Amino acid sequence: MAKPLIAISQLRYADSLASYLKSQQIPVQVHHVPEEDQYVLVLDNEAHHERALEICQAFIQAPNDPKYQQAAWQHSERTDVPVEQAPGNSMRRWLVSLRRSPVTGVILILCTLIFGASLVGLFQPIAAALMIMPLGNLLQNHEWWRLLGPAFIHFSVLHFIFNLLWW
C-alpha cells in the first residue's frame, strides 16, 4: 500500500530526492497536490519506510548535497508527476501564483484599479497625478513617482490587456 513520505514545495527538490531514493532501491512516486502547491513523495512499499525517513531527514538538512544531484544524473530520467487539474481550481492556482510573485500581483492590481477608475470618468485627475514631468520640475517638487506613473495609465481596453500580458 502506498504511503505519503514527505511534501516538498519545489519540483526540482522532489525530483532530486525521488531519484536518490530510487538509487537506494526504495521505490517512490511523486504526486502534485495543486490545492497546497506541494509535491508529495509516496512510498510504494512500507517495508522501506524507516530507511526512507532517514534519507528524508538527511535531505532536509542538506538538500543541495551533490549526492542527490549525482543520483539524478545516474538515474537519468525525470520523475513523472501526474497533474490533477480539477475544474474550478483555476482561481486558487491564480492566487497561489500571485502569492509567489507579490510585486507582479501588486502591479496587476494597481493597473486594474487605475484602469477601472479611468473607465468611470476619472481619467483626467489620474493622468494629471501620474503623468511624467520635465526633470527640472521633478527636482523642485520631488514627485518621483511620476517617473513610473505612466506605466500604470492605459488608454484603451486592448492597451490594458496587452500590458497585463506583459507583466
Q: What is the DSSP code string of 87-156?
A: TT-HHHHHHHHHHH-HHHHHHHHHHHHHHHHIIIIIHHHHHHHHS---HHHHHHH--GGGGTGGGG--SS
Q: How far apart are CA 108 and CA 163, in angstroms?
A: 9
Cβ contact 18:79 at 8 Å: yes
Query: Which range has the worst mean pLDDT, 17-21, 77-81, 128-132, 137-141?
Result: 77-81
Q: How far apart are CA 148 and CA 133, in angstroms?
A: 11
Is residue 52 a part of any domain in this protein? yes
Interval 49-104: pLDDT, tens: 899 899 989 988 988 888 887 877 776 555 555 555 555 567 777 777 778 888 88
Q: What is the pLDDT of residue 120?
A: 92
Cβ contact 40:7 at 8 Å: yes
Is residue 53 a part of any domain in this protein? yes
Residue 49: give the domain boundaries.
3-75
Q: Tell which of 75, 109, 124 closes a domain.
A: 75
Q: Tell which of 21, 40, 75 closes a domain.
A: 75
pLDDT over threshold 60, residue 139: yes
% of the chain surpassing 90 pLDDT = 7
Whole-model pTM? 0.50
Average pLDDT (149-163) is: 84
Do 106 and 63 fall within a single domain?
no
**What is the three-state SS of 8-24?**
ECCHHHHHHHHHHHHHC
Q: What is the pLDDT of residue 57?
A: 92
Q: How many domains does the chain have?
A: 2
Q: What is the pLDDT of residue 99?
A: 80
Q: Find cell 551533490 and name the residue.
A: 66
Is residue 69 a part of any domain in this protein? yes
Average pLDDT, the chain: 82
